[in-house]
Structure 1
Amino acid sequence: MRAYAAIFTARLKMLLQYRAAAWAGVGTQLFFGAALVAMRLAFYHSSNAIPPLPEAQMVTYSWLVQAFFALSPFTSNPDPEVRTMMRDGTVAYELARPLDLYTLWFTRNAANRLAPTLLRCFPIFVIGMAFLGMQPPPSLAALGAFLLALLGAIALIAAWCTLITISLLWTISGDGIARMAPGLVAVLSGQILPLSLLPDRLKPLLQFLPFTGMVESPFSLWIGQRAPSQVVPILLHQLAWTTVFVIAGRFLLARGLKRLVVQGG
């Protein structure tokens, strides 16, 4: 495990150097976040019905989505480095490493999501809470529960992204899955729209699917929609689906490596 920790740390340090890109991302998220909040507030104010998600919670939820956009499933594309290796044949070097290939790819995917998130989230927190209506967690217990659920979400998203990366063993280019999966998962996870605002008949299915553990579950703890005591079932849900993705990923990786042929010399 020491080798994988070193790889994770090295990749995290490398990605944390891209500060200009991070500030550009902060500006982008602030712009789109302001537009989404304004649009949702317009819907709230045009209706006399009591919304299932209070206005203050909706605003905070919207800014959480922007703050953690780099971590979100909307960016769950195959690892670009592995995609390049598949195209030029240098994936052979990956196979020659004295490391478990699945754990290596999982570690890199986790670092790829975490580094840009660390650079972007804190400026958005400061600006959002100071000027844009974002609220802090209602209590320290809620903050602690959110952080625990966020760790579970990171593991779940990394397992999902690793599964998407493994699909390159069959598709090579990865363009199709890179365009189809993120949009679908973003809708099902609550990134595009809070799941609380969707029809009640859909909620049991959405809560069962793994994608709610990526976005909606941890964010609901921050905004106070769920009590801190509910973090245990959230973590169990995340752990169960992370295990499913890891088992499926290892199975597909073993199958894919048997048919992998590196062409050229």
Structure 2
Amino acid sequence: MSPLRVYLAVLRARLRALLQYRAAAAAGFGTQLFWGLLKVMVLEAFYGNTAPGAPQPMALGQAITYTWLGQAFFQLLPFSTNPDPEVREMIRTGAVGYELARPLDLHTLWLTRAIAARVAPTLLRAPLMFAVAVPLLGMSLPPSLAAAGAFAAAMVGAAALVGAFASAVTSTMLWTTSSDGIARLAPSVVLIASGMVIPLPLFPRWMQPWLDVLPFRGMLDAPFRLYLGHLAAGALPGVLLHQALWTAVFVALGRAMVARGLGRLVVQGG
């Protein structure tokens, strides 16, 4: 069996295992619905207190839809950027030695697990959010088929980027006695810089060039703006290129950390 088929088999198996957590998905949906309503009310108050006729970087209806998209795809974002708990336990106990005995590349295996860990809960929650938010909560559909297609393509790139970022964070466990530090710091940066807390177009103008360069806009903001038509479908190649470049950076970084980390790894026990 070719290595690619092996990793695809691991991805499928991991997805099937994670798709069993339907009760957790239902509970999470209720939480995201509550926070979505809260954020929409804040946005309505914000827009309602601006000067009449003042130009806005994003219309209120677009901002509301952006918010519900964030709730629908909340699990895709590495919100907890918490290193894979199973991998953490394997490294802590020394069971990672069994992983090294497999004829597989360790970083690619962790990357596959990271992608599955984010895609599976998203598949469980996103359709339900669309089913509720579109007819009842002011969420709109894409303005055209081109926008919908661009959004779908960009979300594939987003999943790869998020997986690469999460696996790079996981790789840091080979270098630290505890992964809690990076697991607590990274989520705050990711949540703000991806547009989950506030749509990025609403940030000050002087911040926009920096937000455009950072990798996090490719995780949520750029796909969502393609969905809204706030970015034209013709901007898709640029979005995909941005996602691909940062995905390659995080993959290279993760592989380098794994390679050097394994060189200093000591597994004790018998």
- Fold-level match, TM-score > 0.5? yes
Q: Given the alignment of the two structures, is residue 34 of structure 1 paired with residue 43 of structure 2, yes or no? A: no
Q: Give the match's secondary structure for 1:75.
A: coil
Deviations 1:213-235 (A, max 9, x none): 11111000011101111100000
Q: Given the alignment of the two structures, is residue 217 of structure 1 paired with residue 222 of structure 2, yes or no? A: yes
Which residue number corresponds to residue 244 of structure 1? 249
Q: Give the match's secondary structure for 1:17.
A: coil
Deviations 1:10-59 (A, max 9, x none): 01001001100000011111011001111111111011133211000000
Percent sequence identity over matched residues? 55
- In structure 2, C-alpha distance between the alignment counterparts of 1:76 and 1:151, rounded to whole Å: 19
Q: Which moved more, 1:85-94 or 1:213-222?
A: 85-94
Normalization by structure 1: what TM-score?
0.98
Code of the residue aligned with 1:63 in structure 2: it is: W
Code of the residue aligned with 1:33 in structure 2: it is: G
Q: Give the match's secondary structure for 1:171.
A: coil
Number of aligned pairs? 265
The CA deviation at 1:207 is 0.2
Which residue number corresponds to residue 63 of structure 2? 58
Q: Given the alignment of the two structures, is residue 71 of structure 1 paired with residue 70 of structure 2, yes or no? A: no
- In structure 2, C-alpha distance between the alignment counterparts of 1:50 and 1:36, rounded to whole Å: 21
Which residue number corresponds to residue 173 of structure 1? 178
- In structure 2, C-alpha distance between the alignment counterparts of 1:41 and 1:84, rounded to whole Å: 45
Normalization by structure 2: what TM-score?
0.96
Code of the residue aligned with 2:68 in structure 1: it is: W
Q: Given the alignment of the two structures, is residue 87 of structure 1 paired with residue 92 of structure 2, yes or no? A: yes
Deviations 1:106-142 (A, max 9, x none): 0000000000000000000010001100001111110
Code of the residue aligned with 2:111 in structure 1: it is: F
Q: Give the match's secondary structure for 1:173.
A: coil
Deviations 1:226-251 (A, max 9, x none): 11111000000111111111111111
- In structure 2, C-alpha distance between the alignment counterparts of 1:77 and 1:146, rounded to whole Å: 27
The CA deviation at 1:264 is 2.3
Which residue number corresponds to residue 11 of structure 2? 8
Which of 245, 249, 259 pairs up with 2:264? 259
Gaps of 5+ in 2: none
- In structure 2, C-alpha distance between the alignment counterparts of 1:153 and 1:172, rounded to whole Å: 30
Conserved in 2, the CA contact under 8 Å of 1:160 and 1:245?
A: yes
Q: Give the match's secondary structure for 2:175.
A: helix
- In structure 2, C-alpha distance between the alignment counterparts of 1:141 and 1:75, rounded to whole Å: 33
Deviations 1:177-232 (A, max 9, x none): 11000111111111111110011111011101111111111000011101111100
* Correspondence list, 1:18-29, <5 A: 18-29=21-32
Runs of at least 4 residues off by over 6 Å: none
Which of 40, 50, 60 pairs up with 1:47? 50
Conserved in 1, the CA contact under 8 Å of 2:22 and 2:124?
A: yes
Which residue number corresponds to residue 154 of structure 1? 159
Gaps of 5+ in 1: none
Q: Which moved more, 1:8-17 or 1:47-56?
A: 47-56
Conserved in 1, the CA contact under 8 Å of 2:91 and 2:173?
A: yes
The CA deviation at 1:100 is 0.8
